[in-house]
Amino acid sequence: MKLDPKICRNPFVVSWLALMVAASPVWAATPGKADQAAVHPAKWPAARSPIGLDKATEAKITAMLAQMSVEQKVGQIIQPEWKTIKPEEVIQYHIGSIENGGGAVPGGNKHATVKDWVDLIEPYYQASVAPGQKVTIPLIWASDAVHGHNNVYGATLFPHNIGLGAANDPELIRRIGEVTAAEVRSTGMDWTFAPTIAVARDDRWGRTYESYSEDPRIASTYAAAMVAGIQGTGADFLGPNHVIATAKHFLGDGSTDGGRDQGDSTVSETDLARLHGAPYVDAINTGTQSVMASFNSWQGVKLHANKGLLTGVLKGRMGFDGFIMGDWLAHGQIPGCTNSDCSQAFNAGLDIYNQPQDWKLLYANLLRDVKNGTIPMARLDDAVRRILRVKFRMGVFDQPSPANRPATFQPIGTPQHRAIAREAVAKSMVLLKNNGVLPLKPGATVLIAGNGADNIAMQSGGWTLSWQGADNSNNDFPGATSIYEGLKAQIEAKGGQALFSPDATAPQKPDVAIVVFGETPYAEFMGDQSDVALHYGNTESLALLKSLKAQGIPVVAVLLSGRPLYLNPHINAADAFVAAWLPGSEGAGVADVLVGDKDFQGRLSFSWPKRPDQTPLNVGDVNYDPQFAYGFGLSYAQPAQTAQLPEVASTTKYGEKNVYFSKGTVWNGYGVTLSDNDNHRMDYVGTQTTLYGTAALTVSPQDDASLRAVWNGKTQASLSVGAEAPSDIAREANGAMVLSMTLRVNAAPTKEVRLGVGSASVPVTAWLAEASSAYRVLSVPLSCFTSQDLSATPTVMQLTTEGALDISIQDIRLGETKPGAACPTQ
Ligand code: BGC
Ligand code: BGC
């Protein structure tokens, strides 16, 4: 409950409140909610790891625990990111594991080699085993190898999970797990934060592509197959070519209301268990050693604080004997916690804190909590026992250092590995429509068009070389094949000709055209949407399809996307339509089916919508009415004609969540406001607007889709972007994101200019100091504004000056941090 500070200052109200709280502890505890979120482990399915406890190992661990200091134990339960820790601090703080987050590549160089990675890791490991310690515990290293070893230059990139789900081939999944593990091992690492076994139920969720299926059956079968592939089984369990797997994110990450990333799930306990818990049973039954707790809440309680689910269900009912890894600063979202102070999560059952930033403070606070009994020693011992158990199972106590292991430096991105990825691509392709144009006829002249045709970044999606995967180009992917390159090779091999033209302006009329288009890369909450429409490139791609059609050219549309999308106008405009998902580095797999060397085998593992607002949409729904049902997919063996599909006229302005202003439009319910110190306030509604009274600021739309803002220099005025409901950008600020503005300075400022978010601001005068004819990108880390709570921010951008200034703004959004982004000081 939030109290209005004015009410609090009233002594009568304060004493009344105190009375209520004191006299009515039941009211204070909001019993309704607590009851609702109660967990009943006995109602959940049981599981049983095939590994079992080894008596001798457990005895060794008992002996080690007896010798370890509290400091040493606390060090094991904290995981920093390498960027914030020096090797010598590993020994000083007894750190047990380190991660590299998405894009945290050695030296900030995304072309870093395998050797660069091993050189990065080795000193940290060496520090952990430095002589002179009473108990020596080698450090382990984790990375998000979520579609292959995707942070590493030259690695094999597999289709994202949504495409693998369509392939519905568990044996293939096991082989993908094996190859991924081998490539992770090559770089000297021990552990991957994969597989994601979420069952995504609302495709507005930005992580839908990380989910195998909306149906727990595929997710469960795959959970087992992927864990088996990554970790190995039987005598090969955690053998030299395998690494620790992480089933994530426990629990209900795919069940949040509105598909909001890190949001709240209000499903019943029965559905939570049946739909979302099921894959964990299979992951545990195959021996997964790590489970990552989720950012989301269930019925209002954050998973990181949910003892009933973490301890009662996962460790109790499901008998999970490995460790629970935290997600990126997720414990800090628990009410009453901060990123560096949160015994609640640990007491709920978390075993390792994910603290990539201020881990030293967390270390100090945890030591305090153990010493004063807030964290019971038994709980600490339990967590450390689990960590040591997994380290023993992994063999880290007997292995040579990362640089000296047999699997290290084994080649990555090999033809054998890529062949498996190519097979997966071909199998993941779903044919939604084919009115006779596919397969391509041998000898045909084929025009290949669309912004996705020769775009390996777009076909790979998020979690590729960087977290968002948004800033890559083809030369970042040695050994990879774009869809165009794959098609060209195979069309020519069959005596045909491939013409390449992204905008379809070929000099000669082709026999057939292929248009590759779709979503551009995103990860996590950056991909959340308010609907299941295609945002950017929707109009352009449709125009392309229609213009080819108008010229009498048969068209094949190939969609790159991380979720099913309402695209009936596109499907109608094309003669064939293929959902290619996010295939990864082996574009040749797309050609394999389009030229007819292989038949389509993919079947929808997600229901396909009829309308942009038709979500959630899942197989088994009452009144289930999809455009293409779960399990749908045509093939050459079973062809069918598709009639025109119903089109929905829509006036909604679709926008990406963290885009505020772009292409001349204010998105997502945000608005632009002009204000001054005399309490004048006006909304910009798309036409030239001058602040009444002082005329201190004028804003007008420009032909290049920018917004021109001119301050007259007579009195202080602000240009702001905000929404009616305050914005929650706390998570974005935590995740090191930046406020990024593409702007041009027409006339330099005459006085200080401040850029604000909420109530905090920084000067940007120096950055604006020179007028020029070019647009530049101003990137300011959101962390520059975290002196306040950013979970309810009225303004997400505010430019203020008392002086004169003339700028044109083309784009305002939140983006991924670029190296070198710092808080401006002048
Ligand atoms: C991602 C990390 C990434 C970081 C950047 C996190 O949410 O999972 O891998 O490096 O944000 O801000
Ligand atoms: C993501 C996880 C990921 C972690 C580490 C988080 O933001 O939610 O899936 O494993 O970062 O990069």
Residue ranges per structural domain of the chain: 5-404, 429-594, 659-816
- Measured at the CA of 263, the angle between CA 466 and CA 470, to 5 degrees, comes to 20
Query: For the chain, how are helix, strand and coil distributed in percent, rounded to 5?
Result: 35, 20, 45
Q: Is the CB of 735 under 6 A from ligand 1?
A: yes
- Asked if 5-404 and 659-816 have one fold, the answer is no
Ligand 1, atom 6, residue with closest C-alpha: 735
Distance 318 CA to ligand 1 centre (A): 29
Asked if pLDDT for residue 659 goes beyond 90, the answer is: no
Report strand pairing: 512-518 vs 445-449.
parallel
Q: What is the pLDDT of residues 428-469, one digit of tens each?
A: 999 999 999 999 999 999 999 999 999 999 999 999 999 999
Asked if pLDDT for residue 19 goes beyond 70, the answer is: no
Confidence of residue 798 (pLDDT cuts 50, 70, 90): very high
Which ligand has an atom closest to residue 79 CA? 2
**Ligand 1 atom having least distance to the Cα of 735:** 12
Distance 332 CA to ligand 1 centre (A): 15
Please tell me whether the overall predicted TM-score, pTM, comes out greater than 0.75 for this model. yes
Distance 193 CA to ligand 2 centre (A): 8
For the sheet with 793-801, list strands across it.
Answer: 681-684, 670-676, 717-727, 793-801, 753-757, 760-763
Ligand 2, atom 11, residue with closest C-alpha: 328
Asked if pLDDT for residue 286 goes beyond 60, the answer is: yes
Which ligand has an atom closest to residue 732 CA? 1
H/E stretch holding 140 reads strand 140-143
Separation of alpha carbons 804 and 788, rounded Å: 29
Distance 102 CA to ligand 2 centre (A): 8
Q: Is the CB of 486 under 6 A from ligand 1?
A: no
**Ligand 1 atom having least distance to the Cα of 737:** 12
Distance 151 CA to ligand 2 centre (A): 13
Res 686: pLDDT: 81
Q: Tell me the average pLDDT across 809-821.
A: 82
Architecture per CATH, domain 659-816, reads as Sandwich (2.60)
The total number of residues shown for the chain amounts to 826
For domain 5-404, give the CATH number: 3.20.20.300
Q: Tell me the average pLDDT across 776-791.
A: 91
Separation of alpha carbons 302 and 294, rounded Å: 8
Asked if pLDDT for residue 28 goes beyond 80, the answer is: no
Confidence of residue 391 (pLDDT cuts 50, 70, 90): very high
Q: What is the pLDDT of residues 60-92, one digit of tens each?
A: 999 999 999 999 999 999 999 999 999 999 999
Please measure the distance between the N-terminal and C-terminal CA atoms of the chain and give it in whole angstroms: 39
Separation of alpha carbons 605 and 287, rounded Å: 25
Asked if pLDDT for residue 21 goes beyond 80, the answer is: no
Separation of alpha carbons 596 and 743, rounded Å: 48
Q: What is the pLDDT of residues 693-748, one digit of tens each?
A: 889 999 998 888 899 999 999 999 999 999 877 888 887 887 678 999 999 999 99
Query: What is the best residue among 207, 246, 327 to mutate for testing ligand 2's pocket, by most ligand atoms within 8 Å of CB?
Result: 327
Find the DSSP H helices in 309-402: 343-348, 359-371, 377-394
Res 29: pLDDT: 36
**Ligand 2 atom having least distance to the Cα of 193:** 10
Res 9: pLDDT: 34
Q: Tell me the average pLDDT across 116-132.
A: 97
Ramachandran assignment for 704, one of left (phi > 0), alpha (psi -120 to 50 degrees), beta (any other)? alpha
Confidence of residue 690 (pLDDT cuts 50, 70, 90): very high
Distance 463 CA to ligand 2 centre (A): 10
Q: Is the CB of 102 under 6 A from ligand 1?
A: yes
Distance 300 CA to ligand 2 centre (A): 21
Asked if pLDDT for residue 11 goes beyond 50, the answer is: no
CA-based torsion, 182, 183, 188, 191: positive or negative: negative
Q: Is the CB of 480 under 6 A from ligand 1?
A: no
Q: Is the CB of 736 under 6 A from ligand 1?
A: yes
Query: What is the best residue among 99, 354, 467, 779 to mutate for testing ligand 1's pocket, by most ligand atoms within 8 Å of CB?
Result: 467
Res 549: pLDDT: 95
| Beta-bridge mates of residue 776 | 743
Q: Tell me the average pLDDT across 565-571.
A: 97
**Ligand 2 atom having least distance to the Cα of 292:** 10
278 three-state secondary structure: helix
Confidence of residue 10 (pLDDT cuts 50, 70, 90): very low
Q: Is the CB of 815 under 6 A from ligand 1?
A: no
Confidence of residue 35 (pLDDT cuts 50, 70, 90): low
Distance 525 CA to ligand 1 centre (A): 11
* H helix count then E strand count, the chain: 25, 31
**Ligand 2 atom having least distance to the Cα of 101:** 12
Res 78: pLDDT: 98
Separation of alpha carbons 497 and 510, rounded Å: 9
Distance 528 CA to ligand 2 centre (A): 16
- Please list every protein residue whose CB sits less than 6 Å from any atom of ligand 2: 101-102, 144, 193, 248, 327-328, 524
* Of residues 576, 626, 623, 589, the one with CA closest to residue 606: 626
Architecture per CATH, domain 429-594, reads as 3-Layer(aba) Sandwich (3.40)
Q: Is the CB of 138 under 6 A from ligand 1?
A: no
CA-based torsion, 238, 244, 249, 254: positive or negative: negative
Which ligand has an atom closest to residue 736 CA? 1
Query: Which of 227-236, 513-522, 668-677 is predicted with the least confidence, judged by mean pLDDT?
Result: 668-677
Share of the chain above pLDDT 90, in %: 83
Separation of alpha carbons 99 and 442, rounded Å: 49
**Ligand 1 atom having least distance to the Cα of 734:** 12
Q: Is the CB of 328 under 6 A from ligand 1?
A: yes
Q: What is the pLDDT of residues 216-273, one digit of tens each?
A: 999 999 999 999 999 999 999 999 999 999 999 999 999 999 999 999 999 999 999 9
Confidence of residue 679 (pLDDT cuts 50, 70, 90): confident
Asked if pLDDT for residue 496 goes beyond 50, the answer is: yes
Res 22: pLDDT: 35
Res 650: pLDDT: 56
Res 15: pLDDT: 34
Confidence of residue 819 (pLDDT cuts 50, 70, 90): low
Asked if pLDDT for residue 12 goes beyond 70, the answer is: no
Res 1: pLDDT: 32
What average pLDDT does the structure give for the chain?
92
User: Which positions are catalytic?
Assistant: 327, 524
Q: What is the pLDDT of residues 176-222, one digit of tens each?
A: 999 999 999 999 999 999 999 999 999 999 999 999 999 999 999 99
Largest CA distance in the chain: 89
Q: Tell me the average pLDDT across 46-55.
A: 97
Res 657: pLDDT: 64
Q: Tell me the average pLDDT across 378-406.
A: 98
* Of residues 291, 296, 269, 268, the one with CA closest to residue 279: 291
Q: What is the pLDDT of residues 615-629, one digit of tens each?
A: 999 999 999 999 999
Q: Tell me the average pLDDT across 157-165.
A: 98
* Of residues 372, 322, 376, 374, the one with CA closest to residue 352: 322
Which ligand has an atom closest to residue 196 CA? 2
